[in-house]
Amino acid sequence: MSTSAPPTSEVSTLTLREAHRQGLRNALLRDERVFLLGEDIGAYGGCFAVTMGLLGEFGHERIRDTPLSEVAIAGAAIGAAMNGMRPIAELMTCNFSLLALDQIVNNAATMLHMSGGQFNVPVVFRTTAGGGRQLAAQHSHSFEPTFAHVPGIRVLAVATHEDARGVLQPALDDPDPVVLFEYPRIMTLEAECPDEPAVVDLTSAAIRRPGNDVTLVTYGVTLYTVLQAAKILEEEGVDAEVIDLRSLRPLDDATVLASVARTHRAVVVEEAWRTLGVGAEVASRITEEAFYELDAPVARIGCAEVPLPYAKQLEDAAIPQAAQIVAAAHRVLHHG
């Protein structure tokens, strides 16, 4: 495979897309019960070219192009998992994953409960979220909070190279259904990666930039916007800590609370809609658990609460931008 590093080097430069692909490839190599199913994942290489080349290496049995039915992809993956397989189901975008919501929410998430603990469902669903590529309201929404609302599944937002390569193994090893969100907007982002993928912990948040003045909490694609904002703040002499929640269910409160105990200020940023979003949950947990640590109310930034527009400048207006995060940081820093 072109994406596997030459054996001599210890690091190689990978795009995020290649990192995702390596994760899939490693999973396929490691366990023959693992197979992929989804729309156009074979010769076409997947909607966002993540599975490109896997068909040639693993064949049609394990890289299965399916008929055009999200509900069948999800439902059949559940059935296969109940029979000992380790399916990785691709749902092109989380907008289209909604067609499979009955299978994921009513079935995968409840099977253990409804079967009195007799059937667990070790299935992995991969889907994509986020705008910024002018794909309009029916391809670009951020439904991480919708899924994270549901007990019985794990939900992860996979935004870094390390996570992209390392998340599948623990996700497949996990006995319960896991939903992974990937982000088309950053697929071409490059990073130096060690040959040996890191082991990713499914349950913890990651501090992507340590800091002491203000805590910026985020997940998914906005991680990079937040890091950009942190850089601007750094130039102003503000030392921001950036937390990538990564796991949205379960939420790693401890990392967030420990940070807020140091900085006393928090801004929560996400590309999903603000109302009833992950940011709302994080903000209320901070209020519940660390109210007396706070020097300012928690600030929240999310997508404008409209269907995400197709027009470039409308889309930009709707999606959180670095300047907005900086302004919110200023507000919590200069509160009162």
Residues at the contact surface with another protein, assessed by CB under 8 A:
39-40, 42-45, 65, 67-72, 95-96, 99, 134-136, 138-139, 304-307, 309-314, 316-318, 321, 323-324, 326-327
Q: Is the bond preceding residue 250 a cis peptide, omega within 30 degrees?
A: yes
Quote the longest CA-to-CA distance of the chain.
63
Question: What sign does the CA torsion over 9, 10, 16, 18 have?
Answer: positive
Are the C-beta atoms of 311 and 284 separated by less than 8 Å?
A: no
Determine the size of the site formed for ligand TPP (CB under 6 A): 6
Reduced to 3 states, what is the DSSP secondary structure of residue 160? coil
Number of Cβ within a 10 Å radius of residue 295: 14
Structure tokens at 333: 């820093």
Q: Is 90 in the site for ligand TPP (CB under 6 A)?
A: no
- And the tokens for 175? 């006995």
39 near ligand TPP (CB under 6 A) = yes
| Residue 113: HSE in the Cβ half-sphere, 13 Å Cα cutoff | 10
Residues 70-89: x/- map of binding to ligand TPP (CB under 6 A)?
Answer: x-------------------
- What does 237 interact with, of ligand TPP, another protein, none (CB < 5 to 8 A by kind)? none
Task: Give catalytic status of residue 162 as yes or no.
Answer: no
Give me the residue label for tokens 């009162």.
Answer: 336
Distance CA 72, CA 69 (A): 5
- Residue 236: active-site member: no
Q: How far is the CB of 149 from another protein (least distance, A)?
A: 20
When the beta carbons of 47 and 260 are compared against ligand TPP, the nearer one is 47
How far are the Cα atoms of 156, 177, 332 from residue 27, in angstroms, in the given order? 17, 16, 44
In this chain, which stretch among 92-100, 103-111, 173-181, 265-273 interacts with ligand TPP, using CB under 6 A? Answer: 92-100
Q: Binding ligand TPP by CB under 6 A: which of 96, 181, 219, 224? A: 96
CA 197 to chain centroid, in Å, comes to 18
3-class DSSP assignment, residue 3: coil
Q: Which of 139, 141, 161, 264 is catalytic?
A: 139
261 binds, among another protein, ligand TPP, none (CB under 5 to 8 A by kind): none
**Binding to ligand TPP by residue 224, rule CB under 6 A?**
no
272 lines the binding site for ligand TPP (CB under 6 A):
no
Of 39 and 163, nearer to ligand TPP (C-beta) is 39
Q: Which does 134 bind (CB under 5 to 8 A by kind): another protein, ligand TPP, none?
A: another protein
Task: State the catalytic residues.
Answer: 70, 139
Give the interface with ligand TPP as residue ranges (CB under 6 A).
39, 68, 70, 92, 96, 99
